Amino acid sequence: MPTALQSEAVPAQTSWEQLDLYRFFAHVLGSPSRERYALLHSREFAASLRQLWQELQCEGEFPDLAGFRSFAQYEAAYIALFDVGAPEPPVPLVESAHHKAIPAQQIALENVLFYEVLGLHVNPARSFADHLFTQLEFLSAVRYAGDQAPATESRANLARLERDFLQRHLLNWLPAAEAKLRRLDPPIFPALFRPLVVFVQNRLGQLSAGVS
């Protein structure tokens, strides 16, 4: 699978229509790093995220982006929310964690079958097939392939692939994860998850309406 952007900054005058929002969210919600901490706590990022919130027409007022006092606090909160817990973290970023009635292996296999349509493969030593970031990177690859496809039929097939994956996988668990996070109300992260959910819901609406 492609890897999330490691150095993509948000320009002061952001043109959100030109930015790959799948990769943007994979980047800003990625594992803690000092670079990411500095980005999330910058005034430029707050202004750009407010603009995105308004353009997506997210419900409610844009939240106060009061952040973490230190990188260590940010890192500890991220790990405690998304990575570690007994028997699991409060908000797992893995689809199978939200569907206990379905075997995790089955969910992972269904994701892998989608990835193989584009010839993409997941290294199980580095990532889960049904992890949020793997799913976002796949959707980014599908959309890029659709933008580059020369034939109308190919573009239509790729749009259908993106739509089906959103319905069957990402939107099958992401809203529930976002609701859990909103109830916990930690700094910053709910303000990132809400526009992510709205974006993918809007994207599904566009694809269902035939707008690729």
The residue assigned the tokens 């959103």 is: 166
pLDDT at site 87: 80
Structural contact between residues 131 and 93, judged by C-beta atoms closer than 8 angstroms: yes
pLDDT at site 188: 95
Homologous superfamily assigned to 16-208: TorD-like (1.10.3480.10)
pLDDT at site 12: 45
CA 185 to chain centre: 18
* Burial bucket for residue 18 (CB in 10 Å: 0-12, 13-18, 19+): exposed
pTM of the prediction?
0.89
pLDDT in tens, the chain (212 residues): 433 333 344 544 456 667 899 999 999 999 999 999 999 999 999 999 999 999 999 998 898 888 899 999 999 999 999 998 768 899 999 999 998 889 999 999 999 999 999 999 888 767 899 999 999 999 999 999 988 888 887 889 999 999 999 999 999 999 999 999 999 999 999 999 999 999 999 999 999 988 66
pLDDT at site 123: 81
CA 112 to chain centre: 18
Q: Angle CA(78)–CA(202)–CA(190) in degrees, nearest 5?
A: 20
